Structure 1
Amino acid sequence: MSKIAIVTDSTCDLPNKVVKEKNITVIPLNVHFGEETFLDGIDIKSDTFFEKLSSSEIHPQTSQPSVGRFVEAYEKLLKTHDSIISVHISGKLSATYSSALQAQKEIGNDNVKVIDSMNGTLGLGAIIYKLAELNQEGKSFENIVEEAKKIIPNAKFMGLVPTLEYLAKGGRIGKAREFIGSLLKIKPILGAVDGEIQSVGKARTLVKGMDFIVEELKNHNIKTLFIVHANHSERANLLKDKASEVVDSKNIIIAEFGPVVGTHLGPGAFGVGFLSSE
């Protein structure tokens, strides 16, 4: 049986426990605070990052992993694996996919397949989780690549941010820009649509936003639900309680937004990611 490595990037926001259990390789993006550069999730963890985000006068910037970092990771994995399936944040949100693709071309190995998830955070994480399960079940390289193509359109992410300030600063506002400057106290519910961040709903309060998300979950058949938060476990736990009406609580995994995604969403954000099998 051939040995396959499943690779993604740190914007997947999967908990470390899941990454280890599912044998997933995560390539970190970069977070820049002025002259300081940190590897996402390695040099700086979520709790430290959000403290720094709140106290620093400098708004951080993010950047994709270098082509060289991908080349190094792929070459190392190919010493112990026959092939690699590398799935990444939407190319419309980050140049990470482009770096991975360039690295594959430099290596020139057709057993390295690079895929654009057209998603991010736990939308991407849900895809990777499923592919890693298939890998552990012993599915072939071809089967897993084919399955990835099938499930990418069914990967969903919905989230709510207390303010659009951070998305605007980071230039990731996409088609949700219509909410900026709104005089109404409306909380936009954001989702990944066609690889971009778009508004998929709105609510007057964060709790009503949670109710909107839970109602939306009822339209889907969900095996595993990921709930993700930005330094606000109370909101995550409240959302878990509400979502347990729809998904068995044993199949709900709580995660934290990592520093790169946190840069763009800001503290207090929360959301859900899942694969829909409608």
Structure 2
Amino acid sequence: MKKIAWITDTAAQLDDAFIRKYDIHILPLSVVFSDGSFRESIDLTQEEFYDRLRLAKVSPKTSQPAIGEMVSLYEELQLEGYDFAMALHLSSGLSGTFESAQAAAKMTDFNVHVIDSKIGSFPMVKMIESGNELFANGKDVEEVVAAMTELTAKSKLFFIPSSLNQLHKSGRVSGTQTFISNLLNIKVVISFEDGKPVMKEKVRSNKRAKDNVTSALRGDMTTGTVPEVAVIHCNNADDAEIWKHELLQEFPSLRVQVVALSVCVGVHAGEGTTGLSWVAY
């Protein structure tokens, strides 16, 4: 068996047990406030981030891992005797992390296979899980890269921001759109198309937004297999648990977990965001 290193970033929001199980190396994304830059999960917890976000007069920005940090990690893994690395990163439509990882790989003699997840959060977990299973079953690296890349087209991620306020602060929507949305209680549904977030629907009320997303899930369950979904959220676990309960009432055999989103999503989508994510097989 080859000794394989797995690398990802904090967009995946892996728990400690998963990291230990697959021996994964994490490159942290960063949030930049007016008083400095903070590495996610290292310098800044979820709670600390949202406390800071509420008080921030200027909206924070996000920052990818430094290319020098990537090169150092690759060289360290090579010295530790790894044969090659599999590096899965946040969508290139959201961050330059994927491109930086490709550039860093060319700066060392270590063989790093860099994959653009074209998404974030829960699907990244399933891609890493699938890749490990394929290696365990004797597949070669080209087959694993191809299979993980294929999963990017089957991955779904929907967001419902609680308001457009943070999207406005981060420059994603206009002040007029935000004002009208808040006035009329209009909710937007954001999904991913070819690795980029797109506003798909504008509906009146959070219930209709959730129904819209759940309808997309039903569609994928009808045409394929969806064994598991994640209710995702930005510091809104209570509403996420309610949605989980609603899903289990309709789909009793579905595995449903609640997953906090990366704080880098919170920078743009804002506190209170909820959503759904799954991989359709």
Opposite residue 265 of structure 2, the aligned amino acid is V
Cα 1:139/1:26, change in 2 over 3 Å: farther
Opposite residue 251 of structure 2, the aligned amino acid is V
Are 2:234 and 2:263, in contact at CA under 8 Å, matched by a contact in 1?
no
| Larger radius of gyration between Structure 1 and Structure 2 | 2
Q: Does 1:92 align with 2:93?
A: yes
Cα 1:188/1:69, change in 2 over 3 Å: same
User: C-alpha separation between the residues in 1 aligned to 2:65 and 2:74?
Assistant: 13
Q: Which residue of 2 aligns with 1:274?
A: 278
Cα root mean square deviation, aligned: 2.4
Partner of 1:42: helix, strand, or coil?
coil
Q: Which residue of 2 aligns with 1:116?
A: 116
Q: Which residue of 2 aligns with 1:12?
A: 12
Are 1:125 and 1:273, in contact at CA under 8 Å, matched by a contact in 2?
no
Q: Which residue of 2 aligns with 1:63?
A: 63
Q: Which residue of 1 aligns with 2:107?
A: 106
Q: Which residue of 2 aligns with 1:230?
A: 234
Structure 2: give runs of 5+ residues left out of the alignment: none
Question: Alpha-carbon deviation of 1:206?
Answer: 2.0
Q: Structure 1-normalised TM-score?
A: 0.88
Partner of 1:216: helix, strand, or coil?
helix
Residues 18-167 of structure 1 mapped to structure 2, 5 A cutoff: 18-78=18-78, 79-109=80-110, 111-135=111-135, 139-167=139-167
Question: Alpha-carbon deviation of 1:217?
Answer: 0.9
Are 1:187 and 1:206, in contact at CA under 8 Å, matched by a contact in 2?
yes
Are 1:166 and 1:263, in contact at CA under 8 Å, matched by a contact in 2?
yes
Cα 1:211/1:258, change in 2 over 3 Å: same
Opposite residue 207 of structure 1, the aligned amino acid is K
Aligned length in residues? 273
**CA offsets per residue over residues 151-187 of structure 1, 9 Å max, x none?**
11111101100122323333456xx999555454310
**CA offsets per residue over residues 15-35 of structure 1, 9 Å max, x none?**
344333343322101111113
Cα 1:99/1:130, change in 2 over 3 Å: same
Partner of 1:131: helix, strand, or coil?
helix
Partner of 2:106: helix, strand, or coil?
helix
More RCO (CA 8 Å, sep 6+): 1
Cα 1:276/1:171, change in 2 over 3 Å: farther
User: C-alpha separation between the residues in 1 aligned to 2:95 and 2:172?
Assistant: 9
Identity value in percent: 28
Cα 1:51/1:248, change in 2 over 3 Å: farther
User: C-alpha separation between the residues in 1 aligned to 2:202 and 2:269?
Assistant: 16
Partner of 1:106: helix, strand, or coil?
coil
Question: Alpha-carbon deviation of 1:222?
Answer: 1.1
- Once the two structures are overlaid, the 10-residue window that deviates more, 87-96 or 73-82, is 73-82
Question: Alpha-carbon deviation of 1:51?
Answer: 1.5
Are 1:8 and 1:128, in contact at CA under 8 Å, matched by a contact in 2?
no
User: C-alpha separation between the residues in 1 aligned to 2:135 and 2:70?
Assistant: 21
User: C-alpha separation between the residues in 1 aligned to 2:18 and 2:90?
Assistant: 18
User: C-alpha separation between the residues in 1 aligned to 2:217 and 2:139?
Assistant: 29
Q: Which residue of 2 aligns with 1:246?
A: 251
User: C-alpha separation between the residues in 1 aligned to 2:196 and 2:151?
Assistant: 17
Opposite residue 231 of structure 1, the aligned amino acid is N
Are 2:6 and 2:22, in contact at CA under 8 Å, matched by a contact in 1?
no
